Amino acid sequence: MGDEQAEQKAKRKAEARRQTKAAKKQKVEGVGLKGGERTVLVEGTDIKPEFKKLIDEVEAKEPASAKTATGKEKQKKTKSTKTKIRSKKYQEMRKMVDKTALYPLRDAVGLVKKTSMTKFDATVELHINLNPAALGDKKEYRTSVSLPHGTGKEIRVSIADDAIINEITAGKITFDVLVAHPSMMPKLAKVARILGPKGLMPNPKTGTVGPDPERLALNLSKGQVNMKTEPGNPIIHMPIGKVSFEDTKLTENIEAVLTALSGKISGVTLSATMGPGVKVKI
C-alpha cells in the first residue's frame, strides 16, 4: 500500500508541474502585469482544485535560476583576459635586442648566448619561415641535414630486428631513433601502436627506412637530424646546439641548415630556451 500511495503522489506532482508549465505559457493581456512577470493562475486557465496545493509546493521548490527576472536585464558574464607579464630579467634581456633589426649570423649567435636566461645549459633553437611559393603545392615539407657538430644531445639509434621488437612488445624502449630495412616493416606493424604515438615508427619520409640501415644509423648518430614544417604552416622549429657551444660550432651548424633549405627561406629567427628571439639576416 505504501508503494502505491507514493506512486500516486508522484503522479499528482507530475501533473501539477505539467499544469504549472501550461499556465505560464498563457498570454496575459489587460490584467495589469508587466512584461516578464509570471502568475500561476491565469484567466482562462483551468487548474483543478486538487492540484492547487501541489502547484504552490512546486512553485516554492523551483530553483531561483529557473525564474524569469522581473524588469531587469540579465547581465552577461564577461571573461577577463589576463595580459602575460614577463619577468624583469626577461625584459632587461629583451631591451638588448632590436626588434626591427636583422643581425648578421655571427652577431646573432653571440647575442643569443648573451641573452640566455637559464641556469642550465640551454638549447639554441632555430625557427625558419619558408616561402610558400617555393614549396609549390606541397602542404608539408620534410628533409634532413647533417649537423657538423650535432645538437649537443646524445642520440641512441637502434636497428630494428626480432630482439628489438620483443623488447618493444614488453614495453621496453632503449632508443631515441629506430631505423629499419624495408623487409622488417611487416613485423614492425605489430608494434606500430606503441611506436607511432611516440614518433618512433621508422618511416621512409624521415630517412629511417632503407636498404642499408647500418649506414642510416651511423649518419643519425653523427648528427643527422630530420626537419619538417608545422601542420598547415610553412615553419620549421629545430634545435641547433647548446649555449655552451663555441660560436663557430653554432654558426657552422646553422649554415648547414640554411644551405639545405637554400631558395626556400623567407625568414630566420634564433633564440635560446626562454630567451628573446633574434632575427637573422640571410
Mean pLDDT score of the chain, rounded to an integer? 81
SS3 call for 37: coil
Residue 10 pLDDT exceeds 60: yes
How confident is the model over 117-128, as a mean pLDDT? 92
pLDDT classification of 42: cutoffs 50, 70, 90: very low
Q: Mean pLDDT lowest for which of 15-19, 199-203, 273-277?
A: 15-19
Q: Residues 195, 178: contact at Cβ < 8 Å?
A: yes
Q: Residues 271, 112: contact at Cβ < 8 Å?
A: yes
Task: Give the pLDDT confidence of 83-112 residue by residue, as tens digits.
Answer: 667 778 878 888 889 989 999 999 999 999
Do the bridges between strand 177-179 and strand 157-159 make them parallel or antiparallel, or are there none, so unpaired?
parallel
3-state helix, strand, coil in the chain (%, to 5): 40, 15, 45
Domains, the chain, with CATH or none: 2-66 (no CATH), 85-146+225-282 (3.30.190.20), 156-222 (3.40.50.790)
